[in-house]
């Protein structure tokens, strides 16, 4: 007797009278209905894709944010001590990345 892979429902058999298939169909429909009902319940327990949380509800968020730089913090180019090449940049130069280094590059002026 062949059965479906997921729900283990008995499949129709060729050559069997249709009157014998109806009780199987009824049984299989009940199994399918229960499976759909179970899925509905699981979906109802999920959070909507668009939702919000208070900061205090997210574990570790406040601690992680407290270690970040303030949004209005400013600094001078010479403060970039961890960027190789930053202290070598002359006035009116910008830094560009080349491999692991930041190199000073003169700005072009249009006359």
Distance CA 39, CA 49 (A): 17
Most distant CA pair in the chain, distance: 95
Distance CA 66, CA 21 (A): 67
Domain-by-domain residue ranges, the chain? 1-47, 72-111
Distance CA 89, CA 87 (A): 6
111 residues of the chain, pLDDT tens digit each: 899 999 999 999 999 999 999 999 999 999 999 999 999 999 999 988 898 999 889 999 988 888 888 888 887 766 767 776 666 667 777 778 888 777 778 877 665
DSSP state of 10: B
Q: Are 83 and 69 in contact (CB under 8 A)?
A: no
């Amino acid at each position: 007797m062949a059965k479906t892979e997921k729900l283990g429902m008995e499949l129709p058999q060729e050559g069997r009278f249709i009157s014998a298939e109806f009780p199987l169909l009824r049984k299989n429909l009940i199994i399918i209905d229960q499976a759909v009902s179970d899925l509905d319940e699981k979906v109802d327990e999920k959070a909507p894709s668009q939702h919000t949380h208070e900061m205090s509800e997210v574990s570790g968020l406040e601690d992680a944010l407290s270690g970040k730089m303030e949004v209005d913090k400013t600094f001078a180019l010479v403060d970039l001590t961890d960027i190789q090449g930053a202290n070598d940049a002359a006035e009116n130069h910008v830094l560009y990345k080349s491999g692991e280094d930041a190199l000073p590059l003169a700005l072009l002026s249009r006359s």
